[in-house]
Amino acid sequence: MEIKHDIFPSERIIAYSDAIFAIALTLLMLEIKIPESGPTEKNDLFRSLLLNWPSYISFLISFLIISVIWFNHHTMFHYIRYVNHPLMLINTLLMLNVVVIPFCAALLGRYAAEGNRNSMIASLVYGSWITLGGIPFNWLWGYALKHDNLLAEGIMKKELFNIKRHFIRGPFLYLQCTLLALINSWASICGFTVLIILYFLPASLWAKKGCIT
Amino acid sequence: MEIKHDIFPSERIIAYSDAIFAIALTLLMLEIKIPESGPTEKNDLFRSLLLNWPSYISFLISFLIISVIWFNHHTMFHYIRYVNHPLMLINTLLMLNVVVIPFCAALLGRYAAEGNRNSMIASLVYGSWITLGGIPFNWLWGYALKHDNLLAEGIMKKELFNIKRHFIRGPFLYLQCTLLALINSWASICGFTVLIILYFLPASLWAKKGCIT
Amino acid sequence: MEIKHDIFPSERIIAYSDAIFAIALTLLMLEIKIPESGPTEKNDLFRSLLLNWPSYISFLISFLIISVIWFNHHTMFHYIRYVNHPLMLINTLLMLNVVVIPFCAALLGRYAAEGNRNSMIASLVYGSWITLGGIPFNWLWGYALKHDNLLAEGIMKKELFNIKRHFIRGPFLYLQCTLLALINSWASICGFTVLIILYFLPASLWAKKGCIT
Amino acid sequence: MEIKHDIFPSERIIAYSDAIFAIALTLLMLEIKIPESGPTEKNDLFRSLLLNWPSYISFLISFLIISVIWFNHHTMFHYIRYVNHPLMLINTLLMLNVVVIPFCAALLGRYAAEGNRNSMIASLVYGSWITLGGIPFNWLWGYALKHDNLLAEGIMKKELFNIKRHFIRGPFLYLQCTLLALINSWASICGFTVLIILYFLPASLWAKKGCIT
């Protein structure tokens, strides 16, 4: 096999990205602290755990969002077989987005339930960051579609453009959920919850019908 | 090789799951804090370490439980060679279960020794979460068995159904150990300890006789 | 395939290094704590987040530096197909450098904005550590170039020496940025920022022209 | 390829172990906290960093010890091509040893410099744990040597028994360093330092002469 100097097999960038996804997923849980029982709060572990509910919701949404990003990354690299430096750069920006999600999730979990201006700020920061993630994501796929030498051979381009149309809607839907936070932070969180469930379920239904993502 | 749009090779989901398993295993240890010596507690590091014993037991059980889940995941994906979207979704739910185990382990380690209602709650939360993990686990294997196109070619289905029968008992045994916590939290912990050792040892003995776990 | 006893395929050292890179990248974010709102500081989450800006800058530079090291590690192991014990030892020293970067980043983020002697010390420690990383890095590539049996077959050595010339400049540029901290810690941080952006962008431009980073 | 039900290819257990090694290595650093500057301690970041020296030494020794374990694991699985359940079980015990090392390292770093009974206890715990790691380690290699069906074909058994002789000395040397802690905790730490450097350097020298570690 001849060695190329400007494009590389995609195996290693996939393994590297997978490790980053896996760690980000697991660190989400690290942000949830177990309740510390003080001397005056005997017998209330159940209540302490329940009072932590905003953290659990934030954890759950973030877990599913990172999983969806991984699903889509998985789909993209099913077709991308080679990477060049610009694509590695764009993937780095996507990874930058992913590793910051646990921070945003911790912020949301900590402040979502306060019901004051801080809740709105936490929701806006969270939603904006998720929305921003759409930029490197769509950039990556758009770049790959324009470089045939990076793609697997013998694929129907039409299918890939269908995926592109599907991907490009994501950030706009996320933006709408983010803007809901200006009205009420819970409206925003509910929006994300509904969106992520819709995203997940049809994916499985569509796959059954033989369509992608 | 023709590229399929609805099923994917299983390599990547395996690597991704392995990373999540490995991180969850390692984070278990992060939850155990080293004793801080204050000015008035000179010379008692040994006692401080010993007093931490519920954490060590919780760590050990959880380490073995995650290892058993990994063993079984390893067995399942020995036969599953392709994944589709529903299977990836079910695997995501299994991973959700795994990443929360370190939180439950920390909870158990912190409260198991108090001997009050909090101990019971911690044991119930821990046991319930482990038991719940049986749902995506058995769902995953059940789904795979119904989709021949995901399985390796030339395997005897009868063997796979034996594995299924073996897997399906797990959650029921875990549930019994969980319910023991209603009587006494240590009864529950001992139940899990015995169960996990039984799970581990026969696995190695059976393998010697040429059977599958 | 005959099994060699003194050289090993590079797959495993690559996977191992990738995992270390990925974890170091993700731990960078763990060092940034979310603001804790006390009772007297209502409504100032936005300000608290903004006040944390030195941490974000330190995170961003460190994320990009680790990514650049990964890019270059990726380039080197595109050509290195076998490893022997000395090469594994040198790679271990490189990994030692990488895993300590999150500590240095936390130090810089914590002290950069104080504007006193501590800022200078934090910048010097940070810069020195990044500069030191150049030693195992260039050692690794230099060692590989001298051992043809470790390299892929059929590569033009001239290209590899071009890469060497490119790599060797890195530590000297980093050293200059580090020394800037003796004048002002922000001058040093700006230097690193400019350097890392220059490093990143041309990489993508050069790749377009068919040259290697 | 026929699918076997009782032995599995070793790829996945290698990837899984690598991830655990990589995380344990990186978590070592998490245990070192950056100094917090209080209002009365201006301008002493340099001194605070220096005062932390026992943590750095503990980190460094532990980093090198985990690296040596990885090196040897790498060597073993260069020859082990298939795994069965007992071998997976023994590997799990080895991983259990590895993930607890960061805890022991934190303990040593925190208490080594106190120079009292706590230092001795910390050194004894650290040394004992490292020594104990020799059990699953040698068990793993011994088990593999007795099962030809797990090993790569066409290897000279004599070489493998040389490796065994080399491995078996490890725990005894570690034990001696551990017992030194009964005299003085620094004697023990120095012993480990010398041992680990000797372990590392000859490995590279021997490899040059064509022998295996």
Q: Return the structure tokens found at C93.
A: 């020293």
Nearest residue, CB atoms, C208 vs list A2, A86, A118: A86
Q: Are C127 and C196 in contact (CB under 8 A)?
A: no
Mean pLDDT score, A137-144: 90
Residue C136: phi, psi to the nearest 5? -65, -30
Q: Are C167 and C141 in contact (CB under 8 A)?
A: yes
d(CA D22, CA D18): 6
Decide if C70 and A2 are in contact by the 8 Å CB cutoff: no
Helix (H, G, I), strand (E, B) or coil at D50: helix
Nearest residue, CB atoms, D18 vs list C6, C12, C114: C12
Burial category of D70 from C-beta neighbours within 10 Å (exposed 0-12, middle 13-18, buried 19 and up): buried
Residue A99 lies in a domain: yes
Burial of B114-136, coded b for 16+ CB within 10 Å and e otherwise, reads: beeebbbbbbbbbbbbbbbbbeb
Decide if A23 and C18 are in contact by the 8 Å CB cutoff: no
Range of the structural domain that residue B188 is part of: 8-208
Strands (DSSP E) contained in D29-184 are: 82-83
Q: What does R_g of chain C's alpha carbons equal in angstroms?
A: 20
Q: Among residues of chain B, what percentage have pLDDT more than 70?
A: 90
> Quick check: B110 pLDDT over 50?
yes
Q: Return the structure tokens found at B4.
A: 């399929």
Lowest mean pLDDT among A160-169, B6-15, C140-149, C188-197: A160-169
Query: Which chain B residues have any C-beta within 8 angstroms of a chain D C-beta?
Result: 14-15, 18-19, 21-23, 25-26, 28-30, 32, 34, 37, 42-43, 45-46, 49, 63-64, 67, 70-71, 74, 77-79, 152, 154-155, 159, 200, 203-204, 206-208, 210-213
Element (H, E) at B82: strand B82-83
- Structure-token match 């390299």, residue found: C151
Per residue in D111-130, pLDDT (tens digit) is 888 877 888 888 999 999 99
Residue B30 lies in a domain: yes
- Structure-token match 């990205």, residue found: A17
Decide if C18 and A6 are in contact by the 8 Å CB cutoff: no
Confidence of residue A17 (pLDDT cuts 50, 70, 90): very high
> Quick check: B142 pLDDT over 70?
yes
Lowest mean pLDDT among A160-164, A182-186, B85-89, D42-46: D42-46
Å between D210 CA and nearest CA of chain B: 33
CA atoms within 13 A on the CB side of C193: 13
Per residue in B164-173, pLDDT (tens digit) is 877 888 888 8
Nearest residue, CB atoms, B89 vs list A30, A200, A213: A200
Residue D168 lies in a domain: yes
Confidence of residue C152 (pLDDT cuts 50, 70, 90): confident
Helix (H, G, I), strand (E, B) or coil at A8: strand
Q: At what angle do helices C85-111 and C134-145 cross, to 10 degrees?
A: 160
Residues facing residue A151 across a β-bridge: A80
Å between C82 CA and nearest CA of chain D: 13
Burial of C107-126, coded b for 16+ CB within 10 Å and e otherwise, reads: bbbbbbbbeeebbbbbbbbb
Decide if C45 and A121 are in contact by the 8 Å CB cutoff: yes
d(CA D77, CA D87): 12
Q: Are A7 and A82 in contact (CB under 8 A)?
A: yes
Per residue in A27-64, pLDDT (tens digit) is 898 888 888 765 545 558 888 888 888 899 999 999 99
d(CA A105, CA B102): 18
Decide if B28 and D99 are in contact by the 8 Å CB cutoff: yes
Query: So what's the pLDDT on residue B126?
Result: 92
Residue A62 lies in a domain: yes
Q: Which residues of A touch C26 (CB under 8 A)?
A: 20, 23-24, 27, 99
Nearest residue, CB atoms, C204 vs list A86, A110, A111: A86
Decide if C99 and D25 are in contact by the 8 Å CB cutoff: yes
Confidence of residue D204 (pLDDT cuts 50, 70, 90): very low
Lowest mean pLDDT among B52-66, B140-154, C30-44, C87-101: C30-44
Number of domains in chain D: 1
Give Cα C1 distance to the centre of its chain. 37
DSSP state of C35: P
Residue A25 lies in a domain: yes
Query: So what's the pLDDT on residue D212?
Result: 40
Neighbours of A168 (CB within 10 A): 14
Query: So what's the pLDDT on residue B22?
Result: 93
Q: Which residues of C touch A27 (CB under 8 A)?
A: 26, 29-30
Decide if C37 and A5 are in contact by the 8 Å CB cutoff: no
Decide if C29 and A27 are in contact by the 8 Å CB cutoff: yes
Which conformational region is residue A63 in: left (phi greater than 0), alpha (psi within -120 to 50 degrees), or beta?
alpha
Q: Minimal CA–CA distance to B13: which of A77, A150, A88, D2?
A: A77
Burial of A81-98, coded b for 16+ CB within 10 Å and e otherwise, reads: bbbbbbbbbbbbbbbbbb
Query: So what's the pLDDT on residue C41?
Result: 53
Lowest mean pLDDT among A88-102, D69-83, D106-120, D154-168: D154-168
Query: So what's the pLDDT on residue A120?
Result: 87
Q: B34-43: list long-range contacts, CB under 8 Å, 24+ apart.
A: B34/D103, B34/D106, B34/D107, B34/D110, B37/D111, B37/D114, B37/D118, B42/D116, B42/D118, B43/D116, B43/D117, B43/D118
Q: Enter the pTM of the model.
A: 0.90
Strands (DSSP E) contained in chain D are: 8-9, 82-83
Closest chain C residue to A16 measured between Cα atoms?
A: C18
DSSP state of D132: H
Q: What does R_g of chain B's alpha carbons equal in angstroms?
A: 20
Residue B43 lies in a domain: yes
Residue D30 lies in a domain: yes
What is the rounded (10 degree) CA torsion for C145, C151, C157, C159? -90
Mean pLDDT score, C119-140: 91
Q: Which residues of B touch D97 (CB under 8 A)?
A: none
d(CA A83, CA D72): 33
Which residue of D118, D143, D146 to mutate against B (max B Cβ within 10 Å)?
Answer: D118
Q: Which residues of C touch A110 (CB under 8 A)?
A: 34
Residue B1 lies in a domain: no
Q: Return the structure tokens found at C192.
A: 């690193």
Confidence of residue C19 (pLDDT cuts 50, 70, 90): very high
Q: Which amino acid is at B52?
A: N
Å between C23 CA and nearest CA of chain D: 7
